């Protein structure tokens, strides 16, 4: 492997798009989350586009870091064809081995197994990886990366949500903070809410995700701020409306300029705008950014964003047509295949079944053969044909997409179908995390892990802290975030800022989910 010699000096980051970056330190180079190929059934494309970027200088790093297995971070084909497999992989301490297996399958052989929040010294470079391992993080996991050399300390949060701020702060002070600010979800766009309600939900989602990013930036306190990890863009005609072309307050995909303006309005240090090919150089005292010129320049991208995306769409139109034509249709008995696949997993999933406690309908749409209603009966642990029974959640999706999932035996439908936004949904009542966790866990290993996690949540939690007139359990009942740091209280309601779950202090009742397993333990006290 040919390794470029990096002379000791300020840390240097070449931005590759989305959250991809090539980091040069005086202890070696690190390639992080390179994403170039469209993801999720061709629905997500990198924005700004990076398909014309010369990546040759970045293909032989000393170290490779993949934060998690979502396809906008783990671009399997690009890694297989472009990255020298002799790179040493910095591996997060996930509790399941899916990421390591996936990287070994494409040729990587040397792994540095890290422990959660434990520094690893590699010559002139200190590395810390924070591994998030709750079911909502994958369940294969998510992670954040901290790098420190003699000149600077960098936090690459990407789209992870560290839940222990004391732990995060213990590795500071930080000089540069790279963080997600935009949406990476299908809510509320795919739901059949009334238009006014959907718009209000979109406005709140957009505000919440930027507020969460601001919360992290405030607590970390780095002087050099870089909004990354989104948004994607959508070039398929049926998804074009997902692009935020007019700074719509109800669109959950605001771009980098929107968040930089938000930071300025709140009095933060200037945020730095990165596009593919930007080079940021920084140390403890200063930061400079060298921007690309020509068609990949900042003015060319953001001066007329609509025209920029129209050109991008035209360039990829033939690829999208081939992608659609490749989806199988009519090859499989969908009901039989899903029954044989799902029912053994339901036998392993008492917590998930109890958490859903109702019927989920997968309505497989087919204009030629007719729709197929696949009913997942969670109380009974059965999969059968839908006979118009009431359901708590309904998913309408094209048959070709379901057959593709069956053909490839995709164990995490969130990482293929749901993030694609190529479906419609209906639900009765509040959000139920167990529904989508089930679809992330479509293997014995994944289901066993999630069930074990939920079982651990049912154990008593003893640690409490004082919050006004109440003693409150320290860890959020949802995903164990530190409420002493992440909890905010208004009008008798505590909100966890990590995932915005809300709890009534007087009763402990969860206002986000009607599941009693998420009740907050509170005790009113008197001085």
Give per-residue pLDDT as tens, 114-141: 999 999 999 899 999 999 988 877 767 8
pLDDT at 460: 60
Q: Is residue 120 part of a domain?
A: yes
Could you tell me if 441 and 450 are in contact, meaning their C-beta atoms sit under 8 angstroms apart? yes
User: Among 21-35, 225-239, 290-304, 464-478, where is mean pLDDT lowest?
Assistant: 464-478
pLDDT at 151: 97
Percent of the chain with pLDDT over 90: 83
Q: Please name the residue ranges forming H helices in 137-221.
A: 165-169, 195-220
Both tokens assigned to 31 = 């390639």
Q: Is residue 484 part of a domain?
A: yes
Q: What confidence tier does 8 reach under pLDDT thresholds 50, 70, 90?
A: low
CA separation for the pair 220, 197 (Å, rounded): 35
Q: What confidence tier does 9 reach under pLDDT thresholds 50, 70, 90?
A: confident
Q: Is residue 191 part of a domain?
A: yes
Can you list the positions of beta strands (E) in 124-208?
A: 125-132, 142-148, 153-158, 176-180
CA separation for the pair 226, 206 (Å, rounded): 18
Per-residue pLDDT tens digits for 383-397: 999 999 999 999 999
CA separation for the pair 273, 67 (Å, rounded): 22
Taking each helix axis as running N to C, give the angle between helix 399-408 and helix 334-347, from 0 to 180 degrees, rounded to the nearest 10: 60
pLDDT at 402: 98
Q: Is residue 2 part of a domain?
A: no
Looking at per-residue pLDDT, the higher value among 462 and 34 belongs to 34
CA separation for the pair 354, 432 (Å, rounded): 11
Per-residue pLDDT tens digits for 52-110: 999 999 999 999 999 999 999 999 999 999 999 999 999 999 988 999 999 999 999 99
| Domain ranges, residue 487 | 460-524
User: What's the mean pLDDT when you consider all of the chain?
Assistant: 93
Question: Which residues are within 8 A (CB) of 69 and not within 5 positions of it... i.e. 6 or more apart?
Answer: 98, 99, 102, 138, 140, 141, 412, 415
pLDDT at 1: 33
To the nearest 10°, report the CA torsion of 233, 235, 237, 239: -20
Both 384 and 505 in a single domain? no
Total count of domains within the chain: 3
Give whole-number Cα distances, 222 to 127, 156, 178, 269, in Å.
18, 12, 10, 9
Q: Domain ends where: 290, 318, 346? A: 318
Q: What confidence tier does 363 reach under pLDDT thresholds 50, 70, 90?
A: very high
Give whole-number Cα distances, 298 to 263, 270, 275, 304, 346, in Å.
19, 16, 7, 10, 50
Q: Domain ends where: 454, 489, 514? A: 454
Counting every residue written for the chain, the total comes to 527
Q: Is residue 488 part of a domain?
A: yes
Could you tell me if 140 and 96 are in contact, meaning their C-beta atoms sit under 8 angstroms apart? yes
Sign of CA dihedral 445, 448, 451, 456: negative
Both tokens assigned to 79 = 């890694």
Q: Is residue 102 part of a domain?
A: yes
Strands of the 224-228 sheet, one edge to the other: 120-122, 125-132, 142-148, 153-158, 176-180, 224-228
CA separation for the pair 167, 481 (Å, rounded): 12
| Residues forming beta bridges with residue 227, ordered by sequence position | 179
Q: Please name the residue ranges forming H helices in 83-127.
A: 98-105
Residue among 379, 493, 477, 373 at smallest CA distance from 433: 477
Could you tell me if 202 and 188 are in contact, meaning their C-beta atoms sit under 8 angstroms apart? yes
Q: Is residue 150 part of a domain?
A: yes
CA separation for the pair 119, 187 (Å, rounded): 36
Both 422 and 519 in a single domain? no
Q: What confidence tier does 448 reach under pLDDT thresholds 50, 70, 90?
A: confident
Both 472 and 443 in a single domain? no
Looking at per-residue pLDDT, the higher value among 516 and 236 belongs to 236
Both 260 and 379 in a single domain? no
Q: Domain containing 400 — which CATH number?
A: 3.30.1050.10
Enclosing H/E stretch for 456: helix 444-457
User: How confident is the model over 269-277, as a mean pLDDT?
Assistant: 96
User: How confident is the model over 212-228, as a mean pLDDT?
Assistant: 96
Q: Is residue 510 part of a domain?
A: yes
Q: Domain containing 477 — which CATH number?
A: 2.102.10.10
Both 58 and 141 in a single domain? yes
Can you list the positions of beta strands (E) in 218-268?
A: 224-228
Both 362 and 283 in a single domain? no
Both 353 and 225 in a single domain? no
Residue 72 C-alpha from the chain's centroid: 9
Could you tell me if 67 and 41 are in contact, meaning their C-beta atoms sit under 8 angstroms apart? no
pLDDT at 134: 83
């Amino acid at each position: 492997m040919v390794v470029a010699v990096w002379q000791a000096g300020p840390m240097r980051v070449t931005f590759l798009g989305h959250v991809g970056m090539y980091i040069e330190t005086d202890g070696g180079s690190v390639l992080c989350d390179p994403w170039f190929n469209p993801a999720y059934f061709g629905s997500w494309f990198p924005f700004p586009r990076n398909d014309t970027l010369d990546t040759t200088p970045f293909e032989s790093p000393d170290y490779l870091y993949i934060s998690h297995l979502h396809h906008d971070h783990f671009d399997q084909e690009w890694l297989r064809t472009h990255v020298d497999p002799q790179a040493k992989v910095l591996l997060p301490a996930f509790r399941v081995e899916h990421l390591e297996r996936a990287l070994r399958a494409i040729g990587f052989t040397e792994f540095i197994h890290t422990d959660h929040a434990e520094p690893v010294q590699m010559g002139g470079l200190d590395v810390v990886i924070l591994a998030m391992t709750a079911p909502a993080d994958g369940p294969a996991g998510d992670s954040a990366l901290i790098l420190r050399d003699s000149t600077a300390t960098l936090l690459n949060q990407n789209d992870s949500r560290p839940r222990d701020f004391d732990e995060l702060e213990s590795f500071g002070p930080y000089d540069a903070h790279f963080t997600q600010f935009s949406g990476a979800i299908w809510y509320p766009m795919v739901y059949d809410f009334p238009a006014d309600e959907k718009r209000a939900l979109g406005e709140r989602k957009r505000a919440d995700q930027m507020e969460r990013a601001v919360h992290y930036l405030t607590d970390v306190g780095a002087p050099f701020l870089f909004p990354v990890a989104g948004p994607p863009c959508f070039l398929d005609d049926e998804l074009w409306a997902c692009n935020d072309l007019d700074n719509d307050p109800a669109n959950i995909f605001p771009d980098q300029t929107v968040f930089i303006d938000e930071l300025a309005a709140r009095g933060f240090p200037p945020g730095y705008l990165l596009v593919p090919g930007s080079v940021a150089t920084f140390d403890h005292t200063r930061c400079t950014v060298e921007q690309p010129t020509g068609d990949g320049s900042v003015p060319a991208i953001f001066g007329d964003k609509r025209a920029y995306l129209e050109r991008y769409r035209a360039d990829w139109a033939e690829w999208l047509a081939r992608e659609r034509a490749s989806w199988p249709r009519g090859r499989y008995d969908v009901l039989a295949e899903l029954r044989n696949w799902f029912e053994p997993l339901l036998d392993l999933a008492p917590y998930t079944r109890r958490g859903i406690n109702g019927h989920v309908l997968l309505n497989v749409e087919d204009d030629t053969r007719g729709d197929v209603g696949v009913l997942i009966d969670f109380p009974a642990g059965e999969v059968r044909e839908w006979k118009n029974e009431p359901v708590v959640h309904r998913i309408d999706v094209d048959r070709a997409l379901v057959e593709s999932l069956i053909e490839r035996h995709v164990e995490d439908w969130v990482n293929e179908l749901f993030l694609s936004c190529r479906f419609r949904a209906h639900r009765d009542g509040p959000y139920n995390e167990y529904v989508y966790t089930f679809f992330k866990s479509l293997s014995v290993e994944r289901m066993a892990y999630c069930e074990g996690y939920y079982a651990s949540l049912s154990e008593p939690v003893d640690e409490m802290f004082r919050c006004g007139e109440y003693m409150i359990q320290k860890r959020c009942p949802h995903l164990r975030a530190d409420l002493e740091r992440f909890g905010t209280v208004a009008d008798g309601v505590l909100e966890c800022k990590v995932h915005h779950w809300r709890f009534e202090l007087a009763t402990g009742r969860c206002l986000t989910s009607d599941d009693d397993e998420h009740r907050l333990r509170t005790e009113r006290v008197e001085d």
